[in-house]
Structure 1
Amino acid sequence: MDLMGGMQKAVRRVLVARGVQSSTVDVGGQSVHFYSLKGQGKGPPVVLVHGLGGSANGFGRTFFGLAKRFSRVVAPDLPGHGFSTEYCGGQVCVRNQFEVLRAFVEQEVKEPAFVVGNSLGGAMAVSLASEYPQWVRALVLVAPAGAELPVEESTALLNSFKVGTPAEARAFTRRLFHQAPLPALLLATELRRFYDTPTVKALTAEAMSTRLSLEPEAVRKLSMPVLFLWGGSERLLPSRSLDWFRAHLPAHAQVRVVQGFGHVPQMERPDELVSHLVRFADASSL
């Protein structure tokens, strides 16, 4: 029995029971699963983009808090993640993943959104906001990937996703959190299944061979309100990533280092993350 697959489905059942819609749509021939929750607020729709090996389930504990402030909360599973089918698209896996995300926003969201991206999802959110600014009212980057790193740091980061032994799985899990929850540590060996899929392997292999990173100009030209959140307990991405974004983000961007946040605050500190997002939206008159 696939324990983690069963737990993912259990989380989905709980969300659906609480009023979240779980849907699968065709986006340019790719099957994409996403959650949608109608909100009570007047703010624009929120689009939540997860990171490498993650899924929309990781944002599940933020949906209801965000729904109080915004008109709709939308969280897609990137191709090959969560409940979306495996997909890479030849030798340019990262770009094809991004194109699916871009087409999903155009097809299903259909209006400028408050886009929140974590890790790889943060890098994709930057590309969306830079290349298609008409779809992004405001942008929040939560421990985003995409910074240009020295080859040794980039290689070490990508190699960290190759978890083989139970000890390596537990060590990797600890790097994701400010304080790793006991259940996550107990299930660490099962969690490594998320990083052993064909899509995740293809993404890391492409990044390893081409040293993918965002262009500084793509970051500098972001014209919409931007909030950059970095965890005081960030242990997955090197601190050089924070320095790189600080050097290239536009002057109007807000940069906050938040104590108690690790790499995935949406899982560990969901209410605090929602508070940061709502305060930023209020200050940005969204």
Structure 2
Amino acid sequence: MDLISGLQEVTRRMLVARGVRSEVVNLGGQPLHHYELKGRGKGPTVLLVHGLGGTANGFARIFFGLAKRFERVLAVDLPGHGFSPEYCLGPTCVRGQYELLVEYCQKVVGGPSFVVGNSLGGALSAQLATEHPELVRALGLVAPAGADVGHELIREVLESMDVRTAEQSRALTRRLFHKPPMLMMLFADAVRGIYATPAVRALSADALAKGEYLKPEELKRLTMPVLFVWGGSEKLLPHQSLDFFRSSLPAHARLRVVEQFGHIPHVERPDELVSELVQFADASGL
């Protein structure tokens, strides 16, 4: 077992010891791992969707804060990520992941939820809201991908995630955080394997080949409460993404640019992100 796999397993065991259920469900022959934590609040179920190369473990530090406000917290490992086995539908890789997310919402979540997605998970969550609004009680987009900012800018982002050397690993780590923890920098080279998996490479290739982005006219039609959170220290996605969402989301959307948030605030500043999500839920009557 390599270092990253070992840390993933340690995190899983710690969560289970604190009352989080770790389970593998089977959807159309594809095993998917997910976490479930019963909450003490009256808000709807929260579904957390990670980004490219991420895992459900990445949300570990916000599970318990959210459980105080919401009735249930779920986090799923997308195919080929975390504890979910590899899976890809060849040239329709991204769409295949999305369709499994839809099926997960229909069969496991079992009703409309507060869907919160980060990065690629944000793009998938936004697509879910446009195509299946009956599954989305509210939408939270945290540094979402999916903006139509031009092929070359997207290529640069994906190339920065194609890490093959220790220096490239450290450079990517710096881009993910407002201020990278020293421990993360010391072990940055260990993340190379995360971004070299078949799923990550297939998703990246598919995104570059197809160039499919979220459509402003569809986003404008969203009627559920929408929260958009962008980091003042966002370094991975191009700043043009912020302009895209500002002009494309419906007028009722709550847009927040938060200082000292990087690309993955659920890892770096979990308490502050929980506060943003809870304030939004309160203001939206969730």
> Structures share a fold, TM > 0.5?
yes
Aligned to 2:18: 18
Distance, in Å, in 1 between the alignment partners of 2:196 and 2:184 is 17
Mapped pair 1:170 → 2:170: yes
* 2:36 aligned partner, one-letter code: S
Q: Shift in Å at residue 161 of structure 1?
A: 1.0
Aligned to 2:55: 55
Distance, in Å, in 1 between the alignment partners of 2:160 and 2:21 is 34
Aligned to 2:200: 200
Aligned to 1:92: 92
Aligned to 1:30: 30
Could you list the per-position Cα deviations for residues 80-127 of structure 1 after superposition, in whole angstroms to 9, with x for gaps in the alignment? 000001001121100000000110011111011011000000000001
Structure 1 unaligned regions, length at least 5: none
SS at the partner of 2:47?
strand
SS at the partner of 1:218?
helix
Q: Shift in Å at residue 151 of structure 1?
A: 2.2
Structure 1 outlier segments of 4+, above 2 Å: none
Aligned to 1:263: 263
Aligned to 2:284: 284
Distance, in Å, in 1 between the alignment partners of 2:141 and 2:159 is 23
Aligned to 1:273: 273
Task: Give the CA RMSD over aligned residues.
Answer: 0.7
Q: Shift in Å at residue 269 of structure 1?
A: 0.4
* 1:277 aligned partner, one-letter code: L
Aligned to 2:146: 146
Could you list the per-position Cα deviations for residues 138-174 of structure 1 after superposition, in whole angstroms to 9, with x for gaps in the alignment? 1110000000022221111111111111011000001
SS at the partner of 1:199?
helix
Q: Shift in Å at residue 184 of structure 1?
A: 1.1
Q: Is the 8 A contact 1:126 1:218 kept in 2?
A: no
Deviates more, 1:177-186 or 1:206-215: 206-215
What is the aligned-residue identity percentage? 60
SS at the partner of 2:163?
coil
Q: Is the 8 A contact 2:151 2:208 kept in 1?
A: no
Distance, in Å, in 1 between the alignment partners of 2:73 and 2:167 is 37
Q: Is the 8 A contact 2:178 2:260 kept in 1?
A: yes
Aligned to 2:219: 219
Could you list the per-position Cα deviations for residues 186-211 of structure 1 after superposition, in whole angstroms to 9, with x for gaps in the alignment? 11111121110001000000111121
Distance, in Å, in 2 between the alignment partners of 1:117 and 1:151 is 22
Q: Is the 8 A contact 2:47 2:74 kept in 1?
A: yes
Structure 2 unaligned regions, length at least 5: none
Distance, in Å, in 1 between the alignment partners of 2:154 and 2:59 is 26
* 2:172 aligned partner, one-letter code: F
Distance, in Å, in 1 between the alignment partners of 2:42 and 2:28 is 31
